[in-house]
Amino acid sequence: TSITSAKIQVNGVHLHYQQTGEGSHAVLLLPGMLGSGQTDFGPQLQSMNKQLFTVVAWDPRGYGKSIPPSRDFPPDFFERDAKDAVDLMQALKFKKFSLLGWSDGGITALIAAARYPNLIHKLVVWGTNASVTQEDVRIYNGIRDVSKWSEKVKKPLEELYGHKYFAETCEAWVDGISRFAENSDGNICQQLLPDIKCPTFIIHGEKDPLVPQAHAEYIHKHIKGSRLLLMPEGKHNLHLRFAKDFNREVENFLR
């Protein structure tokens, strides 16, 4: 089945998305910082079961091809993304759907599942966190300067955005997410976790250099009945590096 690309107006912005498959179970893929469907979810768009699933990957506002507007990071940017994501799926006429959120997209997915329980069927998150510690702030500052990134990670993003937008947005993201560390317990959405009632699957790479494992364990502990899978060789992008294993685990959970 081919992958179609389109834009749809949601909450005053034109959001870009890709869609594939004709299954009755709709699934939304939520990308990470600076991410888009194109850069973050190639193996999922190509290889997830298209008879069982209709797969949608979106570009949050200011990311990927959902520019304009330029990306900004007000205090409620995750809440804004969660509303945009849910409203996008409703605009596409999906009554109920599952969420697959990576990294920042995982935070967005946690908020959406808590805020819109009647719309979310199942939830999968990986490489994600519900709070920001001082240790996290140190890690984020380590990736602030994109010129220090590996060529492999940097290249697709520079091609997508141009160097200036890529570099400036990354810096703005570090400032934006670091602000959560000032909240009590560094809270982003910890208080919402008990409100998540849908079946939830948390995956974490034991070698993730960006998100310490304690975050995955915290989310698992506070979402009742959730399942946690640790991948010993997984890093932050485990869904790309171990796409076959990842897709299999996720499809089995979603069935």
Of 59, 81, 136, 208, the active-site residue reads 208
Peptide bond into 212 cis (omega under 30): no
Whether residue 222 lies in the annotated active site = no
Of 36, 66, 98, 103, the active-site residue reads 103
Q: What is d(CA 215, CA 132) in angstroms, rounded to the nearest whole number?
A: 9
Q: What is d(CA 39, CA 51) in angstroms, rounded to the nearest whole number?
A: 24
Q: Strand order in 120-126's β-sheet? A: 4-10, 13-20, 53-59, 25-30, 97-102, 120-126, 200-205, 227-231
Whether residue 236 lies in the annotated active site = yes
Nearest of 126, 104, 122, 103 to residue 113 by alpha carbon: 122
Of 16, 204, 215, 236, the active-site residue reads 236
Q: DSSP states of 102-115 as a string?
A: ETHHHHHHHHHHHH
Q: What is d(CA 34, CA 143) in angstroms, rounded to the nearest whole number?
A: 13
Q: Which 8-state DSSP code applies to residue 71?
A: P
Active site residues: 103, 208, 236
